Amino acid sequence: MEFAEKLIELSRVFDITVDSLLKPSEIDELSVKTSILEQKQLLAREQKRSGIFKNVMYSLAVYLTFLAVSFVEHYLFFALEQELWGKPVIFAEFLTATVIVILIWAKSFTHKSTSPL
């Protein structure tokens, strides 16, 4: 049986016109739009998770670098027997690391707010 004959038989069985069998229904269009919207939402959620993960990793790297620099300074100044290393230096370095972390997070928030979905 040819395709046209099958269409004619289907239209007789369901008592509808052949053109209604050939054109897409509103339900099909709505399901396609819903599927596209769901995919966009999943993509946006995944991008948000990825951005947060990257920011956490960058923040961790900054603070680990701060910690490593602090240990190196402590070892150097202890080996040289100088008392230049103290609480003010550590505090200043910690504040610098915190400012860098704040800038990383602020940049990611301003970048997300200007990008269209």
35: containing domain: 3-114
**How many folded domains does the chain comprise?**
1
Specify the pTM.
0.59
The pLDDT of 30-56, averaged and rounded, is 91
- Element at 18 (helix H, strand E): helix 18-22
Ranked by mean pLDDT, the top range of 2-16, 19-33, 73-87 is 2-16
3-class SS letters over 48-88: HHHHHHHHHHHHHHHHHHHHHHHHHHHHHHHHCCCCCCCHH
pLDDT at 117: 45
First to last CA, the chain: 48
